[in-house]
Amino acid sequence: MKYHRLFLFALIAFGLNACDQKPAKKQAENNVKYYRSIQFSETPWDTEEGLHELTAEEAKTVNNYKFTFAGNNQLASVEYNRNNVLLDYASINAAKVTFTYEGDKQVKRFFNAKNEPIKNGGASVFEYTLNETGLRVAMRYLDENNAPVENRNKIHNYQWTKLENGMIKELRYNLAKESVVMNEFCPFYELRFTYDDKGLVTRMANYQADSLYNCTAENCGDIGVSYFKFGYNEAGDLLEFSVHNTAGQLSNLYWGWAKRVNVVDANGYVVESTQFDQDNEYLGGKNVPVTKSEYDQFGALVKRISLDKEKNIVNNPANGVAMVAYKYDDQGLRTETLQYDKDNVLIVPKK
């Protein structure tokens, strides 16, 4: 899971209401919309959805996700940019994502800030199959030559079913047509996703034979893991991500944390993120429990600072870094990444 995308709170992402999702179409007053951020997602089933809308004028001076729709209201592209200059540090793992359509297929491709094709998770193409209502029911990974491939988690294709209770059931398979897990850190086979009436995913649950299942593999901690819960504010910003066993107890994942809590500003930017363990205490050991983030007037991240539970600046035990600073040019392109220790001494990367 990607801190892994799963844990970045910002992942490619996205979701309409699970009961009436129409990923290939969206009504728009015009063919271009701008947003400060992207809706949180936990599965490729989710459709792309923006948060904190901007005007075209504001988009000239604010980093944004530009949604462009074709004449038939089908989503044609999502670009992370400022004043139409592509930027390469988006949460969608690309500067630009395009969508093309043929029959029941929706094809998704990825590009960098130079508008060159790139891979996402080891694949060049995400090819979705849509049902007669526009619901995503399957997806497979392809390479740059449209040949079937597996992604970095050994997944080749997904199968989705909308159940009578409104949940979305997800299964994944490799090229040998064997059922495979979500990823190596989450050994879940069958997942079921619950969405609220705004299309926000509120729970991702691990199932086996139609029963909620408690994973007790090594990566799932000492009391097991069964489901994740997600909480939001009215604007749709992710505020809480928690991990539970079948009894509802907080449960540590492989990385030691069981809950993350975000504080966001008025623009939806995460300004503080705190990690807790299964005892609902600040994450300890060789971990950084609190991360503070600062942004410039354009909405670009300029500082990420490691803090202890008393909010003192500390060195990350893993690498000795207490602060990461990001520099940009006048167009918003990232030009430099610098690392400092808690005494504000520059750390020179080893060659």
- Per-residue pLDDT tens over the stretch 100-149: 999 999 999 999 999 999 999 999 999 999 999 999 999 999 999 999 99
The 3-class secondary structure across 68-98, one letter per residue, is EECCCCCEEEEEEEECCEECCCCCCCCCEEE
Q: Which residues span the domain enclosing 214?
A: 5-283
53 and 70 fall within a common domain:
yes
CA–CA distance, 136 with 149 (Å, rounded to integer): 20
Q: Which tokens go with 291? A: 């991360």
Residues 6, 12: Cα–Cα separation, whole Å? 9
Same domain, 260 and 315: no
- Is residue 87 a contact partner of residue 63, using CB atoms and an 8 Å limit? yes
What is the pairing mode between strands 201-208 and 125-130? unpaired
| SS3 state of residue 175 | coil
Question: Is residue 280 exposed (0-12), middle (13-18) or buried (19+ Cβ within 10 Å)?
Answer: exposed
How large is the average pLDDT for residues 19-34? 60
Q: What tens digit of pLDDT does each residue of 229-260 get? A: 999 999 999 999 999 999 999 999 888 899 99
DSSP annotation of 60 reads G
Read off the pLDDT of each residue in 73-93 and give the average, rounded to a whole number: 96
Tell me the per-residue pLDDT of 290-305, one tens digit each, with 9 for 90 and over.
999 999 999 999 999 9
User: Which domain-ending residue is among 258, 283, 308?
Assistant: 283
Tokens 């951020």: give the residue.
37
| Same domain membership, residue 238 and residue 289 | no
Report whether pLDDT(6) > 60: no
pLDDT digits (tens, 9 = 90+) for 254-263: 888 999 999 9
CA atoms within 13 A on the CB side of 323: 17
Residue where a domain stops, chosen among 252, 283, 314: 283
Q: State the pLDDT at residue 27.
A: 43
Q: Are residues 272 and 290 both part of a single domain?
A: no
Whether 297 and 214 share a structural domain: no
Quote the mean pLDDT of the chain. Answer: 91
Q: Per the structure block, which two tokens stand in for 194? A: 């619950």
Q: Round to whole Å and give the CA distance between 269 and 286.
A: 27
Total domain count, the chain? 2
Is 200 a residue whose pLDDT tops 50?
Answer: yes
In a shared domain, residues 48 and 170: yes
The Cα 283–Cα 307 span in angstroms is 11
Shared domain check, 323 and 249: no
The structure tokens listed for 91 are 């949460």
Is the domain of 233 the same as that of 320? no
* pLDDT band at residue 308 using 50, 70 and 90 as cut-offs: very high
Mean pLDDT of 19-29: 46
Q: Counting beta carbons within 10 angstroms of the beta carbon of residue 62, is it exposed (0 to 12), middle (13 to 18) or buried (19 or more)?
A: buried
293 and 257 assigned to the same domain: no
**Same domain for 276 and 330:** no
Q: Each residue of 159-188: pLDDT tens digit?
A: 999 999 999 999 999 999 999 999 888 889
Residue keyed to tokens 């007053």: 29
Residues 336, 311 share a domain: yes
Please give the Cα distance from 153 to 183 (Å, whole number): 5
Q: From CA 284, how far away is CA 308, in angstroms rounded?
A: 9
Cα 191 to chain centroid distance, Å, stands at 17
Spatial CA neighbour of 292 closest among 302, 281, 284: 302
Q: Are residues 152 and 210 in the same domain?
A: yes
Predicted confidence (pLDDT) at residue 21 exceeds the cutoff of 90:
no
pLDDT of residue 23 exceeding 70: no
